Amino acid sequence: MSARPIASGTISFGLVSIPIKLYAAADASAGVSFNMLHAKDSARLKQQYICTKDGEIVPRDQMVKGYEFSKDRYVTFTPEELKALEEQSTQSIEVVEFVPITKVDPVYFDRSYYVGPDKGGAKAYALLSEVMKDTKRVALARYAARGKMYVVMLRPFENGIVMQQLLYADEVRSFSEVPLEPADVSPKELGLAKLLVEQRAAEAFKPETYEDDVKKRILGLIQKKVDGQDISIVPTEAGGGQIIDLMEALKASLAKKPEAAAPAAAKKAASSDEGSARKPAKRAPGRVAQMRTEAGRKA
């Protein structure tokens, strides 16, 4: 079934104008959600707004929006005034510049949308996708929609284009706010860590190999309730003591089979490619033994 567009607009770069349609890239309904019910009769509950001053329930026709300009002091706005504050929604995606994708840190990524060509825009759409692939650059643009101005990134994806909504600089907190303690990493620790990375290395991200096991478990328990069965909490096993020695933790990680961390689907994908999967598995034990021998001599 073809996807339904959620909006239409125009991409412009230079004097080139491309009519496009936007499609949702994620399915928000895929998650598990619960409704609030009355415990007495299991009827759905409605949300109400209560005045914090007199405790009265306030109907929507008596509500106004306000902005808090100082502690507990508000300036209110009429619907007409709020409309005047909004950015004019032109649905125009105006390309400002093209930059290497490696220069846009994923910490700025917000929502993703698929972009498809509208009538008459197929050739220009294909041109934009191809030129970004060839130059290995993405387009940064301004997008006026829903009364707001967004900064977005257009990037080639498969045979088309994805629009990535970005956060503004003042919406991303500085990493300098994170407290860090100075720490020195020894060459031996770094060597074992590199070996651990190589043992679990993959050449590509395959999202289909990962499944939401928590969601599957919850849906399974919900189905039990639907079928009239009782569900109970299964006590989790107490984890082992924390390994404080970093070298011992690295050695223990290398001794542990990597399949314990790999999803079941990932193991199936790996077994289907015998030529590429078996050779690294034969080399890894030898390299681990060699690294351990060297570490023992130096210790």
pLDDT one digit per residue (tens) for the chain, 299 residues: 678 999 999 999 888 999 999 999 988 767 788 999 999 999 999 988 999 989 999 999 999 999 999 998 999 999 888 888 876 777 889 999 999 999 999 999 999 999 999 999 999 999 999 999 999 999 999 998 888 899 999 999 999 999 999 999 999 999 999 999 999 999 999 999 999 999 888 898 888 888 888 888 888 888 888 888 888 776 666 655 565 688 888 888 888 876 544 444 444 444 444 444 444 444 444 444 454 444 444 44
Specify whether the CB–CB gap between 162 and 20 falls below 8 A.
no
Distance CA 261, CA 266 (A): 10
Among 152, 147, 155, smallest CA distance to 168 is for: 152
In this prediction, residue 260 carries a pLDDT of: 44
The tokens of 4 are what?
Answer: 């339904």
Radius of gyration of the chain (CA): 27
Strands 7-13 and 92-100 come out as parallel
pTM exceeds 0.75 for this model: no
CA 46 to CA 144: how far, in whole Å? 34
The encoded tokens of residue 160 equal 């088309």
Predicted confidence at residue 238, as pLDDT, reads 60
Q: What pLDDT, on a 0 to 100 scale, did the predictor assign at position 29?
A: 67
Quote the pLDDT of residue 68: 94
d(CA 99, CA 14): 16
Query: Using an 8 Å Cβ cutoff, are 270 and 279 in contact?
Result: no
pLDDT digits (tens, 9 = 90+) for 12-55: 988 899 999 999 998 876 778 899 999 999 999 998 899 998 99
pLDDT, tens digit, 9 for 90 and up, residues 48-85: 899 998 999 999 999 999 999 999 899 999 988 888 88
Helix-helix angle 274-298:264-271, to 10 degrees: 110
- Give dist(CA 78, CA 72) in Å, integer: 19
Burial class (CB in 10 A: 0-12, 13-18, 19+), 118: middle
Residues 118-132 have pLDDT tens digits of: 999 999 999 999 999
Domains and CATH numbers, the chain: 7-27+86-171 (2.40.290.10), 187-231+245-298 (no CATH)
Helix (H, G, I), strand (E, B) or coil at 2: coil
